[in-house]
Amino acid sequence: MKTILVTHQLPKVAFETIVNDYKIIMPDKGLISSCMLDRWIGRCDALLPTYAFKVTKEIIDRATNLEIIANFGAGYDNIDVNYAITKGILVTNSPKPVIEPTAELAFSLLLNVARRISECDRKLRSSRGIEIDVMENLGISLYGKTLGIVGMGAIGQALARRASACGMRIIYYNRKRLSQEIENAYEADWVSLNELLAISDFISLHAPATSETYHMIDIQQFNLMKPSVVLINTARGNLINERVLIHFLQEKRIFGAGLDVFENEPEIPSELLQLDNVLLSPHNGTGTIDTRVESTRYALQNIINYFEGKTLLSPVTK
């Protein structure tokens, strides 16, 4: 019987159909302990990590029986993929289940920041209160505004669908232009990154974390943006130079930001916690009950397909 080591407590219902065919090792709560890892890492045939668990060279070297790493989630920057491949270990990810919930959260952050919903809610509940007046607490309308999507993959397109329904114009930046069919579906225009930054009223980041995208939004890029822009990041924290972002928010050189990810998670700079024009979310883009179950089943299906000699759902190659 093959052993699957799961690095974080995940919904037990997702494992119900395979418990008689595989030995499942999983923490009862939270992230795997050092003791549990030491006991099982050298004995597992498959590893199912979440983004919170770093699959380093050391972990891979200790996993002497390991044949496949099936990552939970679309991103896999928590895994040393190149080293795993050199050791003959397959790597897969779970991109499909994250598409709609991440787009939902990105759009929720966008709308919330634009209309200052959470900010006004906090102030109404405070002892200081808030002034209710026709010219106070003004936000930004979405209708007729331009949304710039950086990384028009599946999640970016799911966001575009939502934004289009609200009457927004869609522009996007990709290294490669999308097909005419996809562009027509969203009435989207392909532009350079600099052009997108300069003309967008809202910007949403959906690029992967790579050496090329590290701090892709830095001081030069912020200087191109409108002072009325809203910046959303549900991708990876290090796409943005966080110190520069804080400065632009403090000086009100951008209208606001909605952040689900941070540069040095789980640390969040105290300055962000004190600002009213930034909305914070705890890396929760896929944080629904439905998605946790679906993502677990998807990752498990990659493992099952591998051991049964079937086609992998989503192999990672570099």
Termini Cα distance of the chain: 30
What φ, ψ does residue 57 adopt, rounded to 5°? -55, -40
3-state secondary structure of 95: coil
DSSP letter (8 states) at residue 287 = -
Is 236 tagged catalytic? Answer: yes
Identified catalytic residue from 236, 263, 292, 297: 236
Is 242 tagged catalytic? Answer: no
Q: At what angle do helices 99-115 and 154-165 cross, to 10 degrees?
A: 50
Dist CA 234 CA 243 (whole Å): 18
Identified catalytic residue from 67, 183, 195, 265: 265
Is 283 tagged catalytic? Answer: yes
**Is the sign of the CA dihedral 172, 178, 180, 181 positive or negative?**
negative
Return the bridge partners of 53, or none. Answer: none
Are 205 and 151 in contact by the 8 Å Cβ rule? The answer is yes
Catalytic residues: 236, 265, 283
